[in-house]
């Protein structure tokens, strides 16, 4: 009884050789199908794993790009702020301890800045302008203020119009001009 069950059944005469061969072919076919299913299952697992990896790589790449854009925006804002600070440092005309206080309107609030008499006159004529940056008031030339507005339109700048107002012909107070440098 050393042979396989098929050999034993053949030897006992319970099955014919043809039936044994068909049974063997059926078993081989079934084993082949099982092997193919097993490989297909592995391939789908491999495909799913590869798809998951590519998806995670793409997500990481998108996240990195967004982070890089944010960092670049922050870097540009810092560079712009440094450039504005440098221009103001070089073009600033007022000093903190000046004899006069010049009043100006910023939004709905009246603010003051320390200036000398000449700067007060130039502010009233529109030759100088006031730039608010880092919670400080800087008196700069009109050209510098316009340049700063070109760099950063969000800056708060107070400038008088340079045009001299001409009095109307039938104005009864035409002979009495109010000075622009009147302190209030």
Indicate if 77 and 47 belong to the same structural domain: yes
Q: What is the pLDDT of residues 54-85, one digit of tens each?
A: 989 999 999 999 999 999 999 999 999 899 88
Q: Is the pTM of this model over 0.75?
A: no
Neighbours of 115 (CB within 10 A): 23
* Per-residue tokens: 167: 């009095």
Q: What is the pLDDT of residues 164-175, one digit of tens each?
A: 554 456 667 767
On whether residue 119 sits in a domain, the answer given is yes
On whether residue 130 sits in a domain, the answer given is yes
Query: Which of the listed residues 71, 91, 111 is the one where a domain comes to its end?
Result: 91
How many separate domains does the chain show?
A: 2
Indicate if 112 and 70 belong to the same structural domain: no
Domain that holds residue 19: 1-91
pLDDT of residue 64: 93
Q: What is the pLDDT of residues 103-150, one digit of tens each?
A: 888 888 888 888 888 888 888 888 899 998 888 888 998 888 888 888
Q: How far apart are CA 163 and CA 100, in angstroms?
A: 25
């Amino acid at each position: 009884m050393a042979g396989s069950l098929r050999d034993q059944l053949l030897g006992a005469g319970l099955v014919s050789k043809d039936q044994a061969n068909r049974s063997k072919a059926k078993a081989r076919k079934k084993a082949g199908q099982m092997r193919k299913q097993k490989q297909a299952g592995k391939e789908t697992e491999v495909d799913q794993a590869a798809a998951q990896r590519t998806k995670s790589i793409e997500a990481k790449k998108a996240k990195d790009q967004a982070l890089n854009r944010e960092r670049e925006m922050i870097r540009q804002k810092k560079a712009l702020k440094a450039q504005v600070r440098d221009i103001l440092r070089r073009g600033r005309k007022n000093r903190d301890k000046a004899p006069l206080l010049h009043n100006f309107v910023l939004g709905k609030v009246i603010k003051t800045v320390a200036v000398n008499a000449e700067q007060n006159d130039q502010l009233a004529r529109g030759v100088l302008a006031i730039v608010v940056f880092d919670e400080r008031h800087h008196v700069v030339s009109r050209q510098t203020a316009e340049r700063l507005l070109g760099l950063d339109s969000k800056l708060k700048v107070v400038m008088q119009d340079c045009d001299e107002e001409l009095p109307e012909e039938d104005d009864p107070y035409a002979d009495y001009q109010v000075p622009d440098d009147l302190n209030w």
